[in-house]
Amino acid sequence: MRILIQKFGGTSMATEQTRTDVMNKILEAKKKYEGVVVVVSAIGRLGAPYATDSLLHLVNHKHTNLSPREVDLLMSVGETISSLIMANTLLDQGHKACALTGGGAGIMTDSHFNHAEVTHIHTKPLMTLLREDTIPIVAGFQGVNVDRHVTTLGRGGSDTTAVLLGEALEAEAVEIFTDVDGIMTADPRICKSAKIINTISYNEVFQMAGSGAKVIHPRAVEVARRAGIPLIIKNTFSEAEGTSIMRHIGPTNKKTVDEQIITSIAHISDRVQFSIFGQIDDEKFFTDLAKENVSIDIINIFPDRKVFTIEEHCKNKVIHLLEAFGAEYSLIEGCCKVTVIGERMTGVPGVMAKILRCLSKASVEILQTADSLSTIACLIREKDLEIAVEALHEEFMVSEYVSK
């Protein structure tokens, strides 16, 4: 049986009109696939009556006396409501549909409430419905443990639900519907020339998410990569083709920097750069940093100094520790990291030179760099962010891999 998984986010479920748009997307898919499984998120965001954050605020969740098991039971309600409302929308129009909780759909998890991991999916409930030509509407973000208690999957849980169901049912693809036309080459809020990416690799999406871009949750991408299932990011409210995430974006024959090798440019703000001069007990210092839950972003170690960046909110912890060590240091606040991402840059000479030349021409000072096989990151001052992203986008982005 040819199966497609469709996941719809909270904005897609928000009103009667948007739910009609969702229904139309489902019915279009039914013309092409023998079976369509739909996964839904809770309606809206904080302030909307059935949004997960709104439900948590009903019990002042930061100081609640509820157990983690009971908090999960509360948090699962929004998705359950969405599944029932969406099933009702389809039934009202004469289509066969069935609302299911995560447990009802066969999703089994461990007992780590609030951040449960899926251990197994029993496919019989869904396959039975699909063979009856019924559309299952599954509440995302949730499952049940061995004791049949409801559990939730943490951030990105509905996306993860969709992809895990795709893996279990051997679906041909998973479509993630949201309110944008796809993944973009840069943040359109600061880069007016940003375009929709047609095709991108799993690895590049991981790099984008880790570099500050707001894309699909990495857990969902990891499952898709493991299963080899294409993920397609689409817009509920348009006919745009969206962005396809898959294993490879195609081979390259030309190994030159002039070839289109960059997929996207991501950025992350609120960085602070520290420089330590002279000698301290490096091992103990960085161990103590870890104990303080301070995560280091970029780090370079030289014989006479160490340079690293951290999130701005951790600044005082680092200062306190440096003073306890009696270290001589300096810091630069108001920094951000801009990352050029492209799986095809591996083995291509001259990419760093081109970045340096581009930013120098734009009068952007580079404070620090880091690179991997598919990324080159530059630490710059926050005030230069927009001009840096625009300049790099203009330098690297051509039409081979992005929409015109």
Q: Are 150 and 113 contacting, i.e. CB atoms less than 8 angstroms apart?
A: no
Please name the residues in contact with 170: beta carbons below 8 A apart, sequence gap of 6 or more: 3
**Is 373 buried (19+), middle (13-18) or exposed (0-12) by CB count in 10 A?**
exposed
79 is in an annotated binding site: yes
304 is in an annotated binding site: no
Q: Which residues pair with residue 332 across a beta bridge?
A: 273
Q: How far is CA 33 from CA 134, 300, 355, in A?
A: 13, 52, 45
9 is in an annotated binding site: yes
Q: Phi and psi at residue 75, in whole multiples of 5°?
A: -65, -25
Please name the residues in contact with 354: beta carbons below 8 A apart, sequence gap of 6 or more: 257, 395, 396
CA–CA separation, 59 and 71 (whole Å) = 9
**Which residue type, as a one-letter code, is found at position 367?**
L
237 is in an annotated binding site: no
**Which residue type, as a one-letter code, is found at position 11?**
T
Q: How many residues does the chain have?
A: 404
Q: Are 334 and 346 contacting, i.e. CB atoms less than 8 angstroms apart?
A: no
215 is in an annotated binding site: yes
| CA-closest candidate to residue 221, choices 172, 169, 267, 164 | 164
7 is in an annotated binding site: yes
Q: How far is CA 110 from CA 39, 119, 147, 284, 322, in A?
A: 21, 6, 10, 36, 41
Which residue ranges make up the annotated binding site?
7-10, 52, 79, 178-179, 189, 214-215
Which residue ranges make up the annotated binding site for ATP?
7-10, 178-179, 189, 214-215
Which residue ranges make up the annotated binding site for substrate?
52, 79
